Chain A
């Protein structure tokens, strides 16, 4: 498969937030402010690329040769928890400024379904290593793009006063629907 198309599809047309619904909890709760949303998005992109690559290596060098594929979920989630923990320590120790801007989101990410979801999709679609790195990075960027856009759109809700009964989550869902329509509109480009 054309690697560029893979990257483009993972960012835009098969956006993990808007067409696979992964990482919805933070997408709804953390998208109120653009800077906070961007911090969360960067953290997700970083963790996603690292964990998917690590999980690819573990899956193909350890689990498949040993016939332990049934332990996949358990091993993947442990890997993710470990990597997040290490990343948090490293960033806190060496990049304190970065830690303040997005390090605080790292503990939340362990249970972000987008992270585990990408590792599972990578196995289901039997990607190679390079493809996995590109796909996971692209998906992270796509999620970042979606949540930052959502943050920007939600800021303008002050002026429009939607029905009170929608509440925050309801109107966020409607906005996400409209955004998803827009992202799907690119489908023709990637053929």
Chain B
């Protein structure tokens, strides 16, 4: 892995923030953010952000599958024939999701019930296919795992802020603990499906505004 550590500067030591792995990771979190940058995986984003706990469980599941999938595909990248690579991704992803679903059913049965079919729908989540095809198939295991971790964290970040907003405004609580005083009105709109769209639209506006600041003439 000579590509990641600059051995020429031993005096300053190993600088994490200058390595290629770190750059790839940072790119995944912000610039290539799956929700606000690439607009991938919107189904689960909208569906599970009604409660912070659902969003967190979903994020962990997706990140886990993403990292393991990228590691497997990048380590097999010289063995998978080009013509059948899509089917190979699909089979690997399905097997991983089956495992995650089974573990979730045993470890967190309530969360598993709340998420319903959306755990299984990780299989068709475009983020996984996207990172496999766009990154893992052409890069080393180390870089692919950094990329997957970055994108996974970007997904977690997006889901968390949207779900905090929706749960706070809709139920007046965060993770089930009442935060706002009782007399504060609960806007039930944000607990039902249309509210999910409004929340997503609003956050896209905010994130784009932050990204484009200073760009305009």
Whether B39 sits at the interface, judged by CB under 8 Å, is yes
As a 0/1 sequence over residues 189 to 206 of chain B, the CB contacts with chain A under 8 angstroms (1 = contact) are 000111111101100110
Contacts A20-B47, A24-B43, A167-B204 given; indicate if A113 touches B125 (C-beta within 8 A).
yes
Known: A81-B87, A124-B117. A177 touches B195 (CB 8 A): yes
Task: Indicate whether A176 sits within 8 Å of B121 (C-beta atoms), given known contacts A24-B43, A113-B43.
Answer: no
**Are A73 and B98 within 8 A (Cβ)?**
yes
Given contact pairs A20-B47, A120-B117, A177-B194, A25 touches B40 in the complex (Cβ within 8 A): yes
Is B64 in the interface zone, CB < 8 Å from A?
no
Task: Please give, as numbers and ranges, the residues of chain B lying within 8 Å of A116 by CB-CB distance.
Answer: 120-121, 123-124
Interface contact A165-B43, CB-CB below 8 Å: no
Residues of chain B from 178 to 195 with CB closer than 8 A to chain A in the complex: 192-195
Q: A73-B101, A74-B98, A177-B198 are in contact. Are A170 and B43 (CB under 8 A)?
A: no
- Is the interface on chain B under 10, 10 to 19, 20 to 34, or 35 or more residues? 35 or more
Minimum CB distance partner of A80 in chain B:
B124
Q: Using a CB-CB cutoff of 8 Å, which residues 63-107 of chain B contact chain A?
A: 87, 90-91, 94-95, 97-98, 101-102
**Do B198 and A120 touch (CB < 8 A)?**
no
Q: Mark A14-54, 1 if CB is under 8 A from B, else 0.
A: 00001111111100110000000000000000000000000
Q: A19-B193, A120-B121 are in contact. Are A166 and B87 (CB under 8 A)?
A: no
Which one of A70, A166, A184 lies within 8 Å of B194 (CB-CB)? A184
Q: What's the Cα separation between A49 and B40 when bound, in Å?
A: 25
A163 in the interface, Cβ–Cβ < 8 Å? yes
Q: How large is the interface on A (under 10, 10 to 19, 20 to 34, 35 or more residues)?
A: 35 or more
Structural contact, B124 and A113, CB atoms closer than 8 A: yes
Complex: how many Å from CA A178 to CA B43?
17
Q: Which residue of A lies closest to B128 (CB)?
A: A111
| Interface residue A71 (Cβ < 8 Å from any Cβ of B) | yes
List of A residues within 8 angstroms of B97 by Cβ: 73
Q: Does B126 contact A (CB under 8 A)?
A: yes
Q: Which residues of A contact B62 (CB under 8 A)?
A: none
- Take A74-B98, A170-B204 as given contacts and tell me if A21 and B43 are in contact as well, using a CB distance cutoff of 8 Å: yes
Residues of A near B102 (CB, < 8 A) are: 70
Known: A25-B40, A112-B124, A180-B194. A73 touches B201 (CB 8 A): no
B138 within 8 A of A: no
Give 14 new A-B contacts, CB below 8 A, not counting A25-B43, A117-B117, A163-B205.
A22-B43, A25-B42, A28-B42, A72-B120, A73-B98, A111-B129, A113-B125, A120-B120, A124-B116, A124-B117, A166-B204, A166-B205, A169-B39, A184-B192
Q: Which 8 A-B residue pairings sit nearest by Cβ, starting from the closest?
A: A177-B197, A170-B204, A173-B201, A24-B42, A174-B201, A180-B194, A120-B117, A21-B46
Q: 20 A-B residue contacts at CB 8 Å?
A: A19-B193, A20-B47, A20-B193, A21-B46, A21-B47, A24-B43, A73-B101, A73-B123, A74-B94, A74-B95, A113-B121, A116-B123, A165-B209, A166-B201, A167-B204, A170-B208, A173-B201, A177-B197, A180-B197, A184-B194
